[in-house]
Amino acid sequence: MVTKEQILQWLQTFATEIEQNKDYLTELDAAIGDADHGINMDRGFKKVISQLPSVADKDIGSILKTVSMTLISSIGGASGPLYGTFFLRASTTVAGKQELTEDDLHGMLKAGLDGVLGRGKAQLGDKTMLDALSPAVTAFGQAVGEGNSTLEAMQRAVAAGEQGMKDTTPMIAKKGRASYLGERSVGHQDPGATSSYLMLKSLLTVLESFS
């Protein structure tokens, strides 16, 4: 089971990862975007952390919904709506829950992914956050289907997400600001895929610390 405390710790850990990688994410974005991904994400997640104490006694769905609303209102560019949609859709599948089974967690991640797919209208291979998220969620689902624990499934998901993130480097961007560069977007790792990988890695870090 993944507890509410672990979900809260995941958000804290992700916010810390974003803060520590703020310059790196902005550097990646400078090559193919608006050079603000790290700055925007850091601002959004600092705001999230300031809001968490007010919802710490609520259920997991309510917590994730608060994350969503905070991100949408405080992050500019495409990242706010996309991450906001991820957490909003994730929140609907775990409404009222105080802890999550591996199936719950898979459903939550899958709903978030579907939300990003619908909102961003991108496909796998378009050099976006989906290129890290999609293989990770697929790997998680497969691992759970094979009877693995939540921790083992998350380890598989993070490995797939990391590979997906790295695989964005040789791609031509087909969505977002980077798509304006065409061939010149080749050779740069996608910042959104990178922050998505950090989000998944943060959840694994928390699960490992409790195992």
Number of domains the chain contains: 1
DSSP H or E segment with residue 3: strand 2-3
pLDDT of residue 69: 97
CATH number at residue 40: 1.25.40.340
What pTM, to 2 d.p., does this model score? 0.97
Task: Look up tokens 């999550």; give the residue.
Answer: 100
Query: In the numeric block, which tokens belong to residue 131?
Result: 């290129």
Task: Look up tokens 């999230």; give the residue.
Answer: 48
Quick one: which of 134, 85, 156, 108 has its CA closest to 10?
108
Domain holding 140, by residue range, is: 2-210
Over the stretch 90-143, which tens digit does the pLDDT of each residue have? 999 999 999 999 999 999 999 999 999 999 999 999 999 999 999 999 999 999
